[in-house]
């Protein structure tokens, strides 16, 4: 499966193709091979962490993603995925800090804003969650998940009419939502 002549970047790309197909064990072999070629390859570390996260190994995910961040602290998706692993471990405050760091690095990275909104909602900060979901919708107006989550938090804040309108917009596109 692993061609000894391939660069670490090539191995990561092959692994990512398998990863996207859900073939995590095979992808991880390629990420490991990339690390053999280039120890500390940030994207290989990150993707190994992401695969560990997807397999429920949140400690392993954190170790690898934090190693990737150590190598490349400027990559927003690394911080957001670190936040996801922290959230799964019940470290909500740390997760929110990771999402905020991702947003600081790339204000257009709506995944981090969405994840922050979910975490804020879980922490009981409906107003903060509403702001995060509104930021997602400003950048991606067609995002139905953000629209539905915004409707939920606005309803909890007593903004029933606005929430009902948003729910109606979601139901037009997703009748079973």
Six-digit token pair at 137? 């919708």
What pLDDT score was predicted for residue 129? 98
CA atoms within 13 A on the CB side of 7: 4
- Using DSSP, state whether 124 is helix, strand or coil: coil
Residue 168, Cβ density class (10 Å: 0-12 exposed, 13-18 middle, ≥19 buried): exposed
Single pTM value for the model: 0.90
For the chain of 177 residues, list the mean pLDDT of each consecutive stretch of 10. 80 96 95 95 98 96 98 98 97 98 96 97 97 96 94 96 91 83
What pLDDT score was predicted for residue 1? 59
- Using DSSP, state whether 176 is helix, strand or coil: coil
């Amino acid at each position: 499966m692993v061609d000894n002549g391939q660069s670490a970047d090539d191995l990561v790309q092959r692994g990512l193709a398998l990863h996207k197909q859900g073939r995590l064990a095979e992808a991880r072999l390629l990420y490991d091979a990339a690390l053999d070629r280039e120890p500390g390859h940030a994207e290989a570390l990150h993707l190994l962490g992401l695969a560990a996260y997807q397999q429920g190994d949140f400690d392993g995910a954190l170790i690898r993603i934090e190693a990737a961040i150590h190598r490349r602290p400027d990559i927003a998706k690394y911080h957001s995925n670190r936040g996801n692993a922290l959230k799964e471990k019940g470290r909500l405050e740390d997760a929110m800090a990771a999402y905020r760091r991702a947003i600081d690095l790339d204000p257009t990275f709506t995944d981090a804003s969405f994840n922050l909104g979910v975490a804020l909602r879980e922490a009981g900060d409906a107003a903060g969650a509403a702001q995060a979901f509104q930021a997602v919708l400003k950048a991606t107006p067609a995002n139905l998940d953000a629209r539905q989550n915004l409707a939920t938090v606005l309803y909890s804040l007593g903004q029933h009419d606005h929430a009902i309108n948003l729910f109606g917009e979601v139901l037009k596109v997703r009748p079973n939502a």
